[in-house]
Amino acid sequence: MELSLSSIQVGYVIWTLVGVVIGLLLSRLGPSRRRAAVAVAELGQARAEIATRDARIAQLERDVAASRDQVRPLSDEVDRLRRENAKRVTTTVPAAATPGLDTTGAPLTPGFVEPASVQSTEPLPAFLDAPHGTADDLTLMKGVGNRFAAKLNEIGVFHYRQIAGWSPADTDVADAKLDSFRGRIERDQLVEQAKLLAAGRTTEYEARFGKIGGAAAPLA
């Protein structure tokens, strides 16, 4: 993909040329000045390389964002179909029970998980004294094990909607309470994960973070 040179990049290129010129002018002088000229030239070249890499990274980030925008409608349709299929399966009642048939086992859709947060869009406080209804399984988020989830519960976090609605200030408050888990909110992108899970965007979530709950992908 062709990248246009920014004014910063042009400036660094000019610095490189200036360094080369200075090096030539000082080549007739003492060794210390020659070394200084070489250092200036190398510094200019390094800055130009950094600017080129920064421009490449920015372009890749734009490409990724554009790809997500294109995929999002498709993932939304997949999630809608999954929810409809799950409703059909869970609301189907047999016409008559078969004698001797154990109907108390696992549901017909193994791995199906519908977070409690998906069932309501009601805003929740950043921290709670107790869950509102059924608590979400926070261990479904990548990077959150049982101990981390227990710590989140301890500081009053029970739902994806809470984490999804955190402001930077809320994140700082939560992070300060996490003891040995400090830094994990940002490192594991918990806010980004929670936003997708709270909205029921399972397909988009799995495209970005991997399967929910292991090998089997739960439905939204």
Residue 90 lies in a domain: no
What pLDDT sits at residue 120? 61
Check if the beta carbon of residue 55 is closer than 8 Å to that of residue 6: yes
Residues 135, 202: one domain? yes
Residues 125, 205: one domain? yes
Residues 54, 122: one domain? no
Residues 60, 141: one domain? no
What pLDDT sits at residue 68? 63
Domain that holds residue 33: 7-69
pLDDT per residue rounded down to tens, the chain (220 residues): 455 556 666 666 677 776 666 666 656 666 776 677 677 778 877 888 888 888 777 767 666 666 666 666 666 666 667 666 666 665 654 544 444 434 444 343 333 445 444 556 677 999 999 999 999 999 999 999 999 999 999 999 999 999 999 999 999 999 999 999 999 999 999 999 999 999 888 888 988 898 887 533 333 3
What angle in degrees, to the nearest 10, is found between the helix axes of 202-209 and 190-198?
150
Query: How many domains are there within the chain?
Result: 2
Residue 166 lies in a domain: yes
Task: Output the CA angle 192-195-199, nearest 5 degrees.
Answer: 150
- Rounded distance between C-alpha atoms, residue 191 and residue 164, angstroms: 5
Residue 27 lies in a domain: yes
What pLDDT sits at residue 52? 80
Here the tokens at position 82 are: 């999954």
Here the tokens at position 171 are: 């994140």
Residues 123, 38: one domain? no
Check if the beta carbon of residue 97 is closer than 8 Å to that of residue 125: no
Check if the beta carbon of residue 71 is closer than 8 Å to that of residue 205: no
Residue 104 lies in a domain: no
Residues 134, 191: one domain? yes
What pLDDT sits at residue 117? 45
Here the tokens at position 106 are: 């696992």
pLDDT tens readout for residues 38-55: 777 788 778 888 888 887
**Please, where are the H alpha helices in the chain?**
7-26, 31-91, 146-154, 160-164, 168-176, 184-187, 190-198, 202-209
- CA dist list (Å): 72 to 90, 156, 163, 182: 27, 32, 22, 32
Residue 219 lies in a domain: no
Residues 122, 190: one domain? yes
What pLDDT sits at residue 214? 54
Residues 59, 121: one domain? no
What pLDDT sits at residue 108? 36
Residue 149 has what DSSP assignment?
H
What pLDDT sits at residue 170? 96
- Rounded distance between C-alpha atoms, residue 185 and residue 175, angstroms: 7
Residue 129 lies in a domain: yes
Q: Residue 194 phi/psi, 5° resolution?
A: -65, -35
- Rounded distance between C-alpha atoms, residue 128 and residue 103, angstroms: 37
Check if the beta carbon of residue 83 is closer than 8 Å to that of residue 219: yes
Residue 79 lies in a domain: no
pTM for the predicted model, two decimal places: 0.52
Residue 78 lies in a domain: no
Residue whose C-alpha is closest to residue 143's, from 203, 207, 190: 190
